[in-house]
Amino acid sequence: MPKVRITLSLDDAVLTATKVHAARTGRPDSEVVEDALRRMLGLDFLESMWSKAVLNDNEAMQLALEAQRAVD
């Protein structure tokens, strides 16, 4: 999946913790932030479920939009 460059404003403590974790794991800061967001948003779970789905892309998107509307 292509990457998009963005600008974020983070609390100093969050940025420091991100940089420390990245340094300890030998990964870029952006990868640490992306992994944290994926976990918080449940994207790894969703991707796992999507890989097992029998719906085509359009059907899956429609189902996801309906679920999102039900929550809002």
pLDDT per residue rounded down to tens, the chain (72 residues): 788 999 999 999 999 999 999 999 999 999 999 999 988 888 877 667 767 767 888 988 898 899 999 886
String of DSSP letters for 11-64? -HHHHHHHHHHHHHHT--HHHHHHHHHHHHHTHHHHHHHHHH--S-HHHHHHHH
Parent domain of 71: 42-72
Distance CA 7, CA 11 (A): 13
Residues 35, 60 within the same domain: no
Assigned domain for 1 exists? no
- The pLDDT value given to residue 11: 97
0.85 cut: is pTM over it?
no
- The pLDDT value given to residue 46: 66
Distance CA 59, CA 63 (A): 6
Residues 48, 36 within the same domain: no
State the total domains in the chain.
2
Backbone angles phi, psi at 46, to 5 degrees: -60, -45
- The pLDDT value given to residue 8: 92
Assigned domain for 57 exists? yes
